[in-house]
Amino acid sequence: MDIVTTLLIIAFCLLLEGFFSGSEIGVVSSDQIKLRHKAAKGSKGAKLALQMLEKPEWLLSVTLVGTNISVVTNTTMATALMIHLFGENGSWLAVVVAAPLIWIFGEIVPKSVFQQRADVLTPYVIFILRFFSYLFYPILLIFSFLTRVLTKIAGGGERNPFTLREEIVTMMQMPATEEGDIRPAEQNMIRRMFNFSETTVQDVMVPLIEVIAIEREASCGEARAISSEYAHVRLPVFEERIDRICGILHTLDLLEADPETPIAEYIRPAVYVPASKNIKELMFELRRKKTVVAVVVDEFGGSEGIITIEDIMEEVVEDLEDEYDKQEHTDQVVIQRMGERDYIVNARAEMNELCETLGIELRRGNYATLAGYILEKLHTVPTTGTVVSENDITLTVHRSSAQSVLEVRIHW
């Protein structure tokens, strides 16, 4: 074999070694969230990369076999060439010359380049790796088997195929790009999903004071009138007192009923849940019982409010609307700007979101809304004009009723 051919083989093997060692670190270092996004947009390379990453021992075996074949061939050819040129001294000259070339151009440089450009290169190099996986198939079968056996002996567990929560949080902190990282609207939905399993019924229920209900002794005609006036399909039914809800009336059941007929025979049993119940558990319970509304009760059995499947789903996707939301929309805007650092706020505004939106800091406590904060500070239902101050922030009760705070003016 002439010198030129030998040098070409050495150069080719060096390129192969660089490819295998670099692609190994590149594919393993690639961001699987970005790969999934590219795959969803139709990238065949991203889809193939995700498939091969499902069996990492197979992928690593391909790169390992390829690297070793390249190194052995390269070393053998370099040694033979040096011995041919320099005689007995060629063996150690091969080590002196070939080793640095292999380390620099076969390991260090390729791994550095592939690691820095992992997300860009992976969808392309994966096709070449797939080709070599077919070429090395018999050897890979042995390697894969030995890897699984040794991993079990060493006590290695199953690989977790799911993206860790911490990875998603990190992605959410990255600025959105044109290539499709997580955008603000998606970030908000993901935060809601993370908080979903920690949210209780009390956090999302419609309080009893805002519930339109009907007395058990009412007639079908009265029920239809209330349903038409408030655009409610389902009406909680109470007995004697509003906090003693005894069932749910579906007004669609009354379409053919005589107006004078009592509603008692149309009342359906209610599902009762404690305010402390997790909404995720409640969602499955409502599905199992094939209903969409539940009555929230306190420790003494009194009704506190109601919660619907729409209220639960809004914790993730926000803008769903049921009949109780329609009533809510007739109220004033949650936050109304009056001037520089001067706002009128609906007292039902959620404290954490309010403080984050206005950029202010108010003491947190055992309450969820601005009204709860005011009541906690004063220990009484305030009248219009009552002032509360904290951290140079002045809160004035702008509108109130005998039972509750309705609007608060915040200035600082």
Q: Are residues 126 and 263 in the same domain?
A: no
* Higher-pLDDT residue of 80, 318: 80
Same domain, 293 and 344: no
pLDDT score for 171 = 62
Handedness of CA 222, 228, 233, 235 (dihedral sign): negative
Which residue shows structure tokens 């295998």? 20
Q: Residue 321 pLDDT > 80, yes or no?
A: no
Crossing angle for the helix pair 44-53 and 118-135, to the nearest 10 degrees: 70
Question: Does the pLDDT value for residue 176 go beyond 50?
Answer: yes
DSSP state of 183: -
SS3 for 300-344 is CCCEEEEEEHHHHHHHHHCCCCCHHHHHHHCCCCCEEEEECCEEE
Region of 118 (left: φ > 0; alpha: ψ -120 to 50; beta: rest) is: alpha
Q: Domain with 270 in it: what CATH number?
A: 3.10.580.10
205 and 256 both lie in a single domain: yes
Q: Do both 316 and 347 map to the same domain?
A: no
Once rounded to an integer, what is the mean pLDDT over residues 220-232?
A: 88
* Final residue belonging to a domain, choices 263, 295, 329: 329
Structure tokens at 412: 């600082």
Distance CA 46, CA 41 (A): 10
State the pLDDT confidence band at 216, using cuts at 50, 70 and 90. Answer: very high
* Tokens coding 27: 């594919």
Tokens of 363: 């003491």
Domain boundary among 280, 306, 329: 329
Q: From the CB of residue 295, how many other CB atoms can be counted at a distance below 10 Å? A: 22
**Structural domain includes residue 168:** no
Asked if residues 215 and 227 have their Cβ atoms less than 8 Å apart, the reply is no
Distance of alpha carbon 400 from the chain centroid: 38
Residues 291 and 311 in one domain: yes
- Judge if 344 and 325 occupy the same domain: no
Q: Quick one: pLDDT at residue 139?
A: 84
397, 257: one domain: no
In the structure, what pLDDT confidence band is assigned to residue 328 with cuts at 50, 70 and 90? very low
Rg (CA), the chain: 34
Maximum mean pLDDT: which of 28-42, 352-366, 380-394: 380-394
Average pLDDT of 103-127?
A: 88
On whether residue 181 sits in a domain, the answer given is: no
pLDDT value for 43: 87
Does residue 206 contact residue 306 with C-beta atoms inside 8 Å? yes
The token pair that represents 82 in the structure block: 């040096």
- Whether 27 and 148 map to the same domain: the answer is yes
Which of 267, 265, 149 has the alpha carbon at shortest distance from 213? 267
Instruction: Select from 282, 307, 329 the last residue of a domain.
Output: 329
Q: Is residue 177 part of a domain?
A: no
Tokens for 340, please give them.
């520089």
* 17 and 121 assigned to the same domain: yes
In a domain, 122, yes or no: yes
Residues 6+ apart with CB under 8 A from 244: 238, 302, 303
Distances in Å between the alpha carbon of 344 and those of 147, 339, 348, 369?
66, 10, 12, 14
**pLDDT digits over 305-315, tens only?**
999 988 888 77
In a domain, 159, yes or no: no
Instruction: Scan for tokens 């070599």, then name that residue.
Output: 132
pLDDT for 156: 56
Question: What is the extent of the structural domain holding 252?
Answer: 201-329
Amino acid at 62: V
Average pLDDT, stretch 275-299?
89
Closest CA to 393 of 357, 366, 355: 355
Same domain, 292 and 384: no
pLDDT in tens, 240-264: 888 899 999 998 888 888 989 999 9
Please compute the mean of the pLDDT values over residues 202-214 and round it to a whole number. 88
Q: In what side-by-side order are the strands of the sheet with 267-268?
A: 214-215, 234-239, 241-250, 267-268
The answer to whether residue 183 is domain-embedded is no
- CA 383 – CA 402 distance, rounded (Å): 8
The residue with tokens 């070393």 is 75
Strands 214-215 and 206-207: unpaired
**For residue 333, pLDDT beyond 50:** no
Same-domain status, 101 and 120: yes
CATH number, domain containing residue 365: 3.30.465.10
Strand-strand pairing, 206-207 and 267-268: unpaired
Both 317 and 344 in one domain: the answer is: no
Compute the mean pLDDT over every residue in the chain, rounded to the nearest whole number: 82
Angle at 116 between CA 114 and CA 122, to 5 degrees: 45
| pLDDT for the residue 56 | 78
pLDDT at position 19 over 70: yes
The yes-or-no verdict on residue 332 having pLDDT over 80 is: no
Domain count, the chain: 3
122/109 Cα distance (integer angstroms)? 17
Amino acid in position 141? L
123 neighbors 46 (Cβ within 8 angstroms): yes
| Arithmetic mean of pLDDT, 3-28 | 87
CB 204 within 8 A of CB 311: yes
Instruction: Report if residue 299 sits inside a domain.
Output: yes
pLDDT at 326: 46
Residue 193 lies in a domain: no
